[in-house]
Structure 1
């Protein structure tokens, strides 16, 4: 079986990490693979030691033909159109992984590209529902993201904790877009700052909202912007709590990474987040854009160490279905059915 993976994203974010995770698992399982990606994308360097054929292209209209693949796996929005063209030219079947819960555009080419796919794999129930609004007959199996297994370095973890000691560290990780809800966490910090001084809010990431968020956080000494951090595993392990108040989210693999490090999570009750967090069992859920509820949930966990431990331990148990092996095997089963 030869699988051709196509990911034409310009940068390297969660979807590209998931593409790499899957290709690594399949390589260990003996599957023959090709990756088609943009030149110099980090995916190429991440996979250079594996027996994977690499082909690069800067546009979905290019680099067609010349491959003998059993199935094409399209991992991002632009890749879908590459798969459609290859299907029309060479009759090669393809599947799509849809990672976001944004509605599909009601355009002829979009309907054709997603409608012709053998399967539109969705990360969560919310993503599946969004796809079926436009294509009710689409086959939409749900296969979630996997955690990546970012290790924490004990020395670095200790240094981070000392930096903020003796404060309780509430962290948030991700690109600084409004949809990620950093403004909600800052408002929660403002609310909590009126009654307690034992919390520090640490934001990891970069993005277009940085300056707006800094303006919002003026006068709040508890809020810290530390930029992009490559050693994200150490930061997650050093945190006492991860806030994940997204306004919209296909799934949110950062939640899984935090759970792996036994860091309890408060997420918003939107998109695919409830597919990972069961309120009160392995984390807490609050309604989106509700800073008062987020502040109350943070205060509750800060004051209840046994609850934090219980949520974290249950989350670790629940992680089994999000492991790279579980997710990889789910895709391998799907490939086998279709091929």
Structure 2
């Protein structure tokens, strides 16, 4: 069984959309070959569910050639399983330990709808699926502002009856600090594009390691603070935030691309932390003023559409 595709990059969005609509999904202009790209074919092995991990744990991977061509040969034993094609943008970052090779960073450019391998006909196996991808840049003022983040966290603070809950957007992450009954909870939240098989989920906000510092013996503090409950609720709150942000991004794409937006697979190929303002604070006693940056998280989206007005890869 073969899964074959060809990736294109949309070079002029307006020209491409006009050509796509005019030719009934067979565009002739506004795009070029995407070039070498990492492509994963995720599977729902071993238990019939996709893993949910950023890099699919049970998957095939390949780099497309310079013209965007890729192909997977799937064993017949996987006929009853499901697959999902995910194309990634690849960048490299220096390793934090000197002397070690750089670290490869993958960000999703395109996610297909999941499909069952047994549903792919012989004719479809012989067809090269053309995928057109546009990497868009979101205006800085349309990102996730500090104000919006604060409003989102308010219900979490109330539900957990926390004394305080503060989230601060920094240059590469979101720092979260909560207090309850004399205890401190600290963690960093990381924002990146989702690789979920649920295409309605476009962005993920996930907590890193959560550090809970409780005063006094656990047998006493445990009466006031349930560590497990706090951690669980924080993660659930971030999951709800991810869903809300994903919905906003999908709505924006549909408005920008009428007639095409409903067919597009949407991913976040980059998250930028940008300064959108400043605030002034004064130190006590000295009354000395300092200006601190106000940051926002700006998700840049990628849209992918198939040839022939198709919403499904197969």
For the pair shown, which has the larger CA radius of gyration, 1 or 2? 2
TM-score higher than 0.5: no
Higher helix content, 1 or 2: 1
| Larger RCO (CA within 8 A; separation ≥ 6) | 2
Higher strand content, 1 or 2: 2
Q: TM-score range by the shorter chain?
A: under 0.3
TM-score (norm 1): 0.24
